[in-house]
């Protein structure tokens, strides 16, 4: 695992906060553009987005057993961000 700079971490944190809205198509244009750009360059968040999409799809199709692994990954991701030292959103 590589070390991330604080600004990268902050970007990830910001992205994780709006990712849900972005994937639901509810983010404003600027936010959507920023998120899309970040997902392109950040494998971690790209994976996060993929996982979230998979979960949404499973929910939509009425599948009850959402992939446990996907859920676990999502939780671990959120925890790792929360643990990363109180990065606050400058906005
Ligand atoms: Zn990221």
pLDDT at res. 79: 83
Residues 6+ apart with CB under 8 A from 9: 81, 84, 87
Q: Tens digit of pLDDT for each residue in 25-58? A: 999 999 999 999 999 999 989 998 998 888 888 8
Give residue 35's Cα distance to chain centre.
9
Chain mean pLDDT for the chain: 82
CA of 49 to the centre of ligand 1 (A): 10
CA of 68 to the centre of ligand 1 (A): 22
pLDDT at res. 59: 80
CA of 50 to the centre of ligand 1 (A): 13
Does the pTM exceed 0.75?
no
pLDDT at res. 64: 60
pLDDT at res. 18: 94
């Amino acid at each position: 695992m590589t070390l991330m700079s604080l600004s990268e971490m902050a970007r990830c944190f910001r992205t994780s906060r709006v990712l849900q809205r972005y994937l639901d198509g509810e983010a404003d244009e600027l936010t959507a553009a920023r998120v899309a750009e970040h997902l392109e360059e950040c494998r971690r968040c790209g994976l996060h987005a993929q996982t979230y999409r998979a979960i949404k799809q499973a929910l939509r199709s009425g599948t009850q057993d959402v992939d446990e692994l996907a859920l676990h990954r999502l939780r671990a991701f959120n925890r790792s961000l929360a643990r990363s030292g109180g990065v606050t959103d400058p906005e």
